[in-house]
């Protein structure tokens, strides 16, 4: 028995060493250029000898890329020791690929001391580690694969919110570390970005089950810091006119009609709600995306997306009835509405040029008895009206031929009547990113926001100017 245990330990160490020394999986982030999602099953792969700063070559046949990745992933290895101990030949050891990205940012406000934005804007004149995202990917065999993405955060430590008296309260997660000498440490949180299992029936039908990123537009899926051009998401994306993630089913695929690739996504999910894993009213959300792509003149993709779903939040309490013989649970509606989101996007890569843009609309209609009170003022007064939000952005970038530099310009506009403190706004951004290696990008960006009205809190009377820099890397 001791000999068998020693043999198993030797086998484990050998296989662990092989796994650690293995080459990065196809599509791993260090080889990706901006605009390629590191978690995408069909992300293009750059050759190892590609010079720094050059765009990764893309293929018109996304299905072929996905098939190549499935084929390149190692087959599960049979555990012969388990068989010797009476196990089955079907006992296998799966290979788990780990990769991810992180970023480090410094930003400061270029505004006067009496500007109201000084009171509310977070991370002013601060160094910060923003994203630390880890991908876990595995080929499960026979056209099955699994992908998970988690983000490690300092939050909730330092997060602020007003209390009933209007005082700003900061969350403190300081605890005493029992593993040492009771020294104080601060704990953070973990956010599940996505986790799903996928089966590929063929190029036209691929099914994901779990939590996935909503397949709309460009920025929401290509969200890794080293792959995107700018530092921050456009407001129309960060304000989630479409939900950022959904829990449910996603069917997608594509078909080629030379010189076009026609692709689609269809989703069925719980929709938005206060709890990711529970649908309080069984009102499922549905949505989709349709896109057309061609390589006839550079790489041009045009797409459209939609989402339709409900939101329901409630409180509950237990009520004793029938003289104490029964206990029932009664619910009170906090907020309930139906929403519709529509989006259009375009992305064109031609030689050293990159042009992309998105326009999104979101319309919300509250149900009878489900209209919440305004929370801008304390105590809340009045009820929230139905509203329609919309916004758009456009980005133009040019990769210099003599250096791994891309200057870029972003113009965006946002109108959000559900946030009366912030009036309609237009932002102008100029920046440059420098890519010394395929896995590292350094960015510098200046943003100038202008508002069309004062807003209920007076923020619109003041411009908002931000200078930010970032180092992002894939690993």
Q: What is the pLDDT of residues 401-441, one digit of tens each?
A: 999 999 999 999 999 887 777 789 999 999 999 999 999 99
Question: Mean pLDDT across the stretch 347-358?
Answer: 97
pLDDT at 115 over 60: yes
**pLDDT given at position 254:** 97
Indicate the average pLDDT of the chain: 81
Q: Under 8 Å CB-to-CB from 198, ≥6 apart: which residues?
A: 41, 144, 145, 146, 147, 206, 207, 208, 209
Segment among 27-41, 256-270, 353-367 with least mean pLDDT: 27-41
Q: Yes or no: say if 457 and 421 are a contact pair by the CB < 8 Å rule.
A: yes
149 alpha-carbon distance from chain centroid: 9
CA distance 158 to 173: 8
Q: What is the pLDDT of residues 23-35, one digit of tens each?
A: 343 334 444 444 4
pTM for the full model? Answer: 0.79
**pLDDT given at position 119:** 77
Question: Cα dihedral angle (207, 212, 214, 215), rounded to 10 degrees?
Answer: -40
CA distance 206 to 254: 9
DSSP 8-state class, residue 10: H
Query: Is the C-alpha dihedral spanning 448, 451, 454, 455 positive or negative?
Result: negative
Distances in whole angstroms, Cα of residue 378 to Cα of each of 162, 164, 215, 267: 10, 7, 38, 39
pLDDT at 463 over 80: yes
**pLDDT given at position 49:** 39
Residue 160 dihedral angles phi and psi, to the nearest 5°: -120, 150
What is the CATH code for 22-474? 2.40.160.10
First-to-last C-alpha distance (Å) of the chain = 41
Segment among 67-71, 104-108, 334-338 with least mean pLDDT: 67-71
Question: Domain residue spans in the chain?
Answer: 22-474
Q: Yes or no: say if 286 and 267 are a contact pair by the CB < 8 Å rule.
A: yes
| Percent share of the chain, pLDDT over 90 | 56
Q: Is the model more confident about 84 or about 392?
A: 392
Q: What is the pLDDT of residues 311-322, one digit of tens each?
A: 999 888 888 877
**pLDDT given at position 375:** 59
pLDDT at 58 over 70: no
Question: Mean pLDDT across the stretch 361-378?
Answer: 80
**pLDDT given at position 379:** 52
**pLDDT given at position 333:** 86
């Amino acid at each position: 028995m001791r000999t068998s245990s020693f043999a198993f330990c030797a086998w484990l160490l050998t296989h662990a060493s092989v796994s650690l020394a293995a080459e990065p999986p196809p599509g791993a982030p260090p080889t990706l250029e901006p605009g390629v999602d590191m978690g995408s099953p069909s992300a293009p792969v750059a050759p190892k000898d590609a010079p720094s700063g050059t765009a990764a070559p893309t293929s018109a046949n996304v299905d072929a890329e996905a098939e190549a990745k499935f084929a390149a992933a190692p087959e599960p290895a049979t555990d012969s020791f388990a068989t010797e101990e009476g196990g089955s030949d079907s006992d296998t050891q799966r290979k788990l690929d780990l990769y991810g990205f992180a970023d480090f940012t410094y930003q400061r406000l270029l505004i006067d001391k009496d500007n109201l934005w000084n009171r509310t804007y977070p991370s002013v004149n601060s160094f910060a580690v923003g994203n630390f995202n880890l991908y876990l990917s595995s080929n499960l065999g026979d056209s099955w694969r699994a992908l998970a993405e988690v983000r490690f955060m300092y939050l909730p430590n330092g997060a602020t919110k007003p209390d009933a008296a209007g005082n700003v309260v900061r969350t403190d997660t300081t605890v005493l570390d029992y593993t040492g000498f009771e020294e104080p440490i601060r704990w953070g949180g973990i956010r599940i970005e996505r986790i799903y299992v996928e089966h590929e029936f063929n190029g036209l039908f691929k099914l994901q089950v779990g939590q996935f990123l909503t397949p709309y537009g460009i920025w929401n899926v290509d969200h890794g810091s080293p792959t995107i051009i700018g530092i921050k998401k456009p407001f129309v994306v960060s304000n989630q006119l479409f939900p950022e993630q959904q829990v449910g089913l996603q069917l997608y695929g594509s078909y080629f009609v030379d010189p076009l690739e026609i692709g689609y996504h269809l989703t069925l999910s719980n929709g938005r709600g206060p709890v990711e894993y529970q649908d309080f009213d069984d009102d499922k959300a549905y949505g989709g995306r349709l896109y057309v792509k061609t390589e006839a003149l550079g790489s041009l993709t045009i797409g459209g997306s939609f989402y339709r779903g409900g939101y329901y939040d409630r409180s509950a309490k237990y009520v004793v009835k029938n003289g104490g013989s029964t206990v029932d649970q009664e619910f009170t509606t906090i907020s309930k509405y139906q929403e519709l989101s529509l989006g259009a996007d375009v992305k064109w890569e031609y030689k050293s040029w990159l042009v992309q843009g998105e326009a999104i609309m979101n319309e919300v209609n509250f149900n009878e008895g489900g209209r919440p009170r305004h929370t801008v003022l304390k105590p809340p007064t009045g009820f929230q009206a139905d509203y329609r939000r919309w916004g758009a952005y456009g980005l133009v970038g040019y990769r210099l031929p003599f250096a791994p530099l891309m200057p870029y310009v972003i113009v965006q506009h946002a109108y959000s009547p559900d946030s009366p403190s912030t009036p309609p706004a237009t932002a102008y951004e100029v920046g440059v990113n420098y890519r010394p290696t395929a896995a590292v990008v350094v960015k510098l960006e200046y943003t100038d926001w202008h508002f069309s009205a004062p807003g209920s809190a007076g923020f619109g009377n003041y411009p908002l100017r931000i200078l930010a820099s970032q180092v992002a890397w894939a690993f």
